[in-house]
Amino acid sequence: MEKDRNNYNLPPQEFARLVRVSTSTLRRWEREGFLSPKRSNSGHRRYSLSQVKLAESHHDDAQENRSRLSKERVSSNSNLTNWSNLPEKGVLPIAGGRWVVPHIKPLAFAIPAIAGIATFVIFTFAPIPFFGQVAGSKIFSRDYTAGFLKSKVLGSKVVKVLASADARNDISLIFNIPTIFNQDIKAVGHNLDLGAGRITAGNVIYSVIAGTGVAVTEGQNPEISNTGVLSIGGEVGELELAAGEGIEVDGMQITNADLGSSQAIFKNIKVGANTVVSTTNNDILTIDTGTGVTATADISAKKITFTTPWTLLGTTIYPTTTSNTIATLGSIGVGTTSPQSAFSVGSSSQFQVNSSGDMIRLKSLTYSWPSVQATTNRQVLTNDGSGNLSWGSLLSVDVDDDTLDYTEFKDLMSLDAATDIALGGYNFSFSGVGNVGIGTTNPTYALEVAGTGYFGGALTLGTQATTTAHAVKADRSLT
């Protein structure tokens, strides 16, 4: 709101009406440096709302000063206290109170006739200092209401005299104090001469300012004329509108008389790289649907609805029914907008399946798979180190030394020849010729124990068994 108050958008007439002064007063204030308007782009004066309060205060102060100065002039120049000294011709001052006019009988008839006209003209718009020389200072020491009051001097005889006396047209009423009329003022057959003054009223235009392309003559009956040049399409002067085909012109109203046959409703419609061009008004634009897409036209609502087997929910698209399948001749990317194979997963297609159905890439490593199944159930896929996979058998040379832990044996366990089993740091080995070594990996006998042996039961050597504890009997010599 404060910003609007500081905008200079009020023309002089509107600003003068708000302040209750004339536009000439605004120009005088500008010359005095009290009020500074701004110029619009067209060069016209403009005022702001924030200046209204300042101008009103200045106007009220000026009114108060004029009223005070008038009273001071009346007080300082008064030298007449008895109105009976007025001459036969002259000025009749009216300021309220009692009228004492025993020696001015010829004036009695003229007073009712011209009081209203002269009072309005002189009292309101043209205060004359001469009145201050005639009226007494005591009369104007307070506010007065002008009017006719009864007088013992006049009485009924004066009324008769007024009825028969000749009217005097050379009597003037001069008022130099603010005056308020509570009734209408009517000047019959006469003019109101305001001199340089102005009438202030809500329904009166104070001035007319010519804008761009407009001329205004001077005087009380200004004539406004157009001085600009109107031109449309190279035509200058008074212009008239002519109706073309399918157009009706009624005064300043232009109406399309033909809503169809004389117009092309659409000109060009571009779809992708193709452009549909309308050559006549009768052209019909046909919307066809592709496979899996249906179009429904709602004539009452004037709309077309397209339906597909897919449903879009947020950023997720899925088939409308579970029986729908996804088929494409292109590539599908999951997590990527640039799939490198028929099916790619990952931002850089780390997992790929080609159009032949082969998994050619796994965790960014490239593979080539065999095109046939293995020939036996013991074959495994082998990698040549470059990602080329093939079926092959697992040989002993393909198995490095390892540890095999068993917690229980339910099936038969067989060991191939030349197998070395380490049990807690001790070797249990089978040689290639059938020797068994305990504590040694290279037994040279059928059973060779490296270290002290202990038998908790009988030990039979050959066919002879031991008969007593800690005794060894054999049918052969022991070395």
Amino acid at 55: A
Q: How far apart are CA 190 and CA 169, in angstroms?
A: 13
Task: From 20, 161, 17, select the one nearest 101 (Cα to Cα).
Answer: 161
| Total-model pTM | 0.27
Q: Which stretch of DSSP H or E encloses residue 64?
A: helix 50-77
Q: How far apart are CA 61 and CA 58, in angstroms?
A: 5
At residue 345, the pLDDT reads 92
Task: From 368, 414, 372, 408, select the one nearest 391 (Cα to Cα).
Answer: 372
Among positive and negative, which fits the CA dihedral 21, 23, 26, 31?
negative
Neighbouring CB atoms inside 10 A of 206's CB total 18
Q: How far apart are CA 234 and CA 224, in angstroms?
A: 26
With 0-12 / 13-18 / 19 or more C-beta atoms within 10 angstroms meaning exposed / middle / buried, residue 266 is exposed
Q: How far apart are CA 222 and CA 208, in angstroms?
A: 8
Contact 437, 428 (CB under 8 A): yes
Tell me which residue has tokens 């028969």. Answer: 164
What are the beta bridge partners of residue 438? Answer: 428, 449
Every domain of the chain and the residues it spans: 242-276, 287-327, 419-465
For the chain, the maximum distance between any two Cα atoms, rounded to a whole number of angstroms, is 198
Q: Which stretch of DSSP H or E encloses residue 2?
A: helix 2-5
Per-residue pLDDT of the chain (479 residues; tens, 9 = 90+): 444 556 777 888 888 888 888 888 888 888 887 788 888 888 888 888 888 878 887 777 666 666 665 555 555 544 444 444 444 444 444 444 444 444 444 444 445 545 555 555 544 444 444 444 444 434 443 444 444 433 333 333 333 444 444 445 556 677 788 888 888 888 788 877 777 777 777 777 777 888 877 888 887 788 888 776 666 667 766 667 788 877 888 887 888 776 665 555 666 788 888 888 877 767 888 888 777 788 888 888 888 888 887 777 777 777 777 666 777 778 888 888 889 888 889 988 889 888 888 888 888 888 888 888 888 777 888 888 888 888 887 665 566 666 655 555 555 556 665 555 655 555 667 666 778 888 777 788 888 888 787 777 777 766 655 555 545 554 555 54
Contact 119, 94 (CB under 8 A): yes
Sequence-ordered alpha helix ranges (H) in 143-189: 155-164
Task: From 140, 142, 145, 151, select the one nearest 183 (Cα to Cα).
Answer: 145
Amino acid at 232: I
CA distances from 256 to 34, 179, 253 (A): 57, 64, 10
What are the beta bridge partners of residue 296? Answer: 305
Structure tokens at 413: 């366990």
3-state secondary structure (DSSP) of residue 215: strand
Task: From 173, 155, 177, select the one nearest 110 (Cα to Cα).
Answer: 173
Structure tokens at 163: 């009825």
Sequence-ordered alpha helix ranges (H) in 315-456: none
At residue 63, the pLDDT reads 67
Tell me which residue has tokens 């009624």. Answer: 250
